[in-house]
Amino acid sequence: MKIVGFVPSRLNSERVPSKNIKLLGGVPLINYSLRALNKVKALNDLVVFASEPSIKDHIEADLKYTYLARPQSLDTQTATIQDIIGEFLKLSDADIIVLLHITSPFLRPATIAECIDKVVSGEYDSAFSAYAFKKFAWFKGRPLNYSLDKPTPRTQDIDPVVIEQSSLYVFRRELFLNKRRRIGDKPFIKIIDHFEGHDIDTPEDFEIAELMVNAGFFQPLK
């Protein structure tokens, strides 16, 4: 069984220019994800999937990874993650894919390893990181996790709304090939906190990440 860490990357980010190589705490962002994956012992390989080999110039020399070129057509705003995974699987013989997006620099190696273990065990067909919110939630104009016809519960007593954190996904090759999905019918959901799961999608998100690093909330992996 071959387990491969998969890090898709592109340099032409729209909302945060050159996001994947933008300096966070003085370090190009891509290195945070690669540092974490380098500490996951279960991985047989770690692949940076990018169309521009210049990404390698921004990766720390002591990090182990394989560069795999992808078509520039996958760098467009219309390309989906399914398109990217599908192209990757044409070039890789991975049995289990550990997809980690560069935009979550604080995900812990232990979180990644736990998700891999759950899928390898066969108990789950996939795994992903998520947040759990114990808040009064609405969807399509109606309460989602409480009723207006009953006394308002305490927030600690309501069922949490679980939201994909959207950075870490572990899945089997056959799941994607058969259903073109990275989440199966029996996923393991790894609940993480908002510090670990902070995702950089906007310039403001990047500023918050800088504050987290500067305030010592995140200790860089060595």
Q: Which tens digit of pLDDT belongs to each residue from 60-113?
A: 999 999 999 999 989 888 899 999 999 999 999 999 999 999 999 999 999 999
Structure tokens at 152: 């308002």
pTM of the shown model: 0.93
Predicted confidence (pLDDT) per residue in 111-136, tens digit: 999 999 999 999 999 999 999 999 99
Give kind and range of the element (H or E) at residue 32. helix 30-38
Residue 189 to residue 125: CA distance in whole angstroms: 11
Mean pLDDT score of the chain, rounded to an integer?
Answer: 94
* Strand stretches in the chain, DSSP E: 3-8, 23-24, 27-28, 45-50, 66-69, 96-100, 126-133, 138-139, 142-143, 161-172, 187-191
Q: Would you say residue 20 has pLDDT above 60?
A: yes
Residue 46 to residue 132: CA distance in whole angstroms: 29
Residue 130 to residue 153: CA distance in whole angstroms: 24
Structure tokens at 134: 């114990």
Q: Would you say residue 53 has pLDDT above 80?
A: yes
Query: What is the per-residue pLDDT for 112?
Result: 98
Predicted confidence (pLDDT) per residue in 24-33, tens digit: 999 999 999 9
- Band the pLDDT of 204: cuts 50, 70, 90: very high
Tell me how far CA of residue 107 lies from CA of 29, 112, 143, 146, in angstroms.
13, 8, 31, 31
User: What is the homologous superfamily of the domain 3-130+166-214 according to CATH?
Assistant: Spore Coat Polysaccharide Biosynthesis Protein SpsA; Chain A (3.90.550.10)
The residue extents of the domains of the chain are 3-130+166-214
